[in-house]
Amino acid sequence: MGLLDGKVAIITGAGRGIGREEALLLAGEGATIVVNDVGAAVTGEGGDVSPAQEVVDTITAAGGTASVNGDDISTWAGAKSVVDQAVESYGGLDILVNNAGILRDKMSFNMDESDWDDVIRVHLKGHFAPTHFAAVYWRNKSKSGEPTSGRIINTSSEAGLYGNAGQANYSAAKAGIASMTWVLARELERYGVTVNAIAPRARTRMTENLFGEMASKKGDGFDEWDPKNIAQLIGFLVTDEAADVNGQIFVIFGGNIYAMGGFHPIGEVHRDHAWSPQELIEAKADLFKGIDSGIPKFSFF
Ligand SMILES: NC(=O)c1ccc[n+]([C@@H]2O[C@H](COP(=O)([O-])OP(=O)(O)OC[C@H]3O[C@@H](n4cnc5c(N)ncnc54)[C@H](O)[C@@H]3O)[C@@H](O)[C@H]2O)c1
């Protein structure tokens, strides 16, 4: 008996890295998996379905059920195709893990238009487009009177929560994914669908240059950079037992899981009419009383 017996899951970008481990874990808990991956380079160029096929082969060799989907989830047609594949091949959809991503890190003054457009497209539209078609499916199911339960897991990043120099495109997309998670949670709750997000840290090809030696496996002890650690949290969030966890964003790293709070005021001034610029110069010390008015230092990394 697995925790996810009888459920059907789509995982985007599941040919390697974190998505691969999520696919293997959910399959190990009994879910049928559509393994989506275009097989692009880390920067988004090219395509090769062999990584997705390797994941499907690993799942089926272990007795599970899975199929490859090589569509680009950042297109409307590709996103529809992956949702249709789950529904038509396996009779429904229970879980959507939006995970696919690319990286084109550059300082703002070096970034060109395609670096901006492609990263925003793959992450932000690549999260929204499959979500749209899954939401249509779950809403129709619910309106037809069938009991409905859905799970969406989005993949944000600490770069989106705190802002990271050199990642204007990526951080903007990941911040958009975080706020979109709250919107979707509010919209889909009435149909029995929860929407949560993770901001992971793990050793993959995407982070090998960023984290370098710090993320290397050390000895035989617990490997806190192993992407398998991330998959465990996903495994929990998609269970029936997590039906009351909704609109949450989790930073996860090794054995550390942080439930993150949203924006809240850190300083304030009030009165019953508008402030002029000159008055705000004079009120600045009150607005920032006890706090630094420079760039926020939120990261606990
Ligand atoms: N590794 C980390 O520490 C870390 C940190 C924060 C966020 N993330 C996020 O986690 C997710 C997974 O990243 P990873 O580290 O496993 O990277 P990865 O490069 O190993 O995996 C990403 C996968 O997405 C696929 N992909 C890219 N564009 C696609 C598209 N248009 N359609 C379908 N598939 C596509 C790629 O082919 C690749 O297999 C990404 O969203 C990433 O931004 C990772």
Q: What is the pLDDT of residue 299?
A: 63
Reported pTM: 0.97
Q: What is the pLDDT of residue 300?
A: 56
Determine which residue's CA is closest to atom 6 belonging to ligand 1: 157
Mean model confidence pLDDT for the chain: 96
Over residues 180-194, the mean pLDDT reads 98
Place of tokens 């082969």: 57
Confidence of residue 148 (pLDDT cuts 50, 70, 90): very high
Q: What is the pLDDT of residue 280?
A: 98
Within 10 angstroms of residue 91's Cβ, the number of other Cβ atoms is: 10
> Of 58, 49, 75, 63, whose CA–CA distance to 23 is shortest?
58
Q: 27-72: per-residue pLDDT in tens?
A: 999 999 999 999 999 999 999 999 999 999 999 999 999 999 999 9
Q: What is the pLDDT of residue 210?
A: 76
170 in catalytic set: yes
Single-letter residue type at 186: R
Q: 97-141: per-residue pLDDT in tens?
A: 999 999 999 999 999 999 999 999 999 999 999 999 999 999 999
Q: How far is the CA of 16 from the centre of ligand 1 (A)?
A: 8
Burial of 291 (0-12, 13-18, 19+ CB in 10 A): exposed
Confidence of residue 216 (pLDDT cuts 50, 70, 90): confident
d(CA 178, CA 55): 28
Measured from CB, residues less than 6 Å from any atom of ligand 1 are: 12-13, 15-19, 36-40, 42, 44, 51, 72-74, 99-102, 122, 126, 155, 157, 200-202, 204-207
174 in catalytic set: yes
HSE-up (13 A, CA, CB side) for residue 3:
15
CATH homologous superfamily of 8-260 equals: NAD(P)-binding Rossmann-like Domain (3.40.50.720)
67 in catalytic set: no
Provide CB contacts within 8 A for 27, sequence distance 6+. Answer: 33, 59, 62, 64, 65, 66
Ligand 1 atom nearest the C-alpha of 158 is: 6
d(CA 180, CA 168): 18
Q: How far is the CA of 301 from the centre of ligand 1 (A)?
A: 20
Determine which residue's CA is closest to atom 14 belonging to ligand 1: 17
Given a cut of 70, whether residue 301 has pLDDT beyond it is no
Q: How far is the CA of 178 from the centre of ligand 1 (A)?
A: 16
In the 8-state DSSP scheme, what is residue 204?
S
Q: Per-domain residue ranges for the chain?
A: 8-260
Place of tokens 């398998």: 228
In the 8-state DSSP scheme, what is residue 224?
T
Confidence of residue 229 (pLDDT cuts 50, 70, 90): very high
Provide CB contacts within 8 A for 284, sequence distance 6+. Answer: 293
d(CA 32, CA 264): 40
Pairing mode of beta strands 256-260, 249-253? antiparallel
Q: How far is the CA of 99 from the centre of ligand 1 (A)?
A: 6
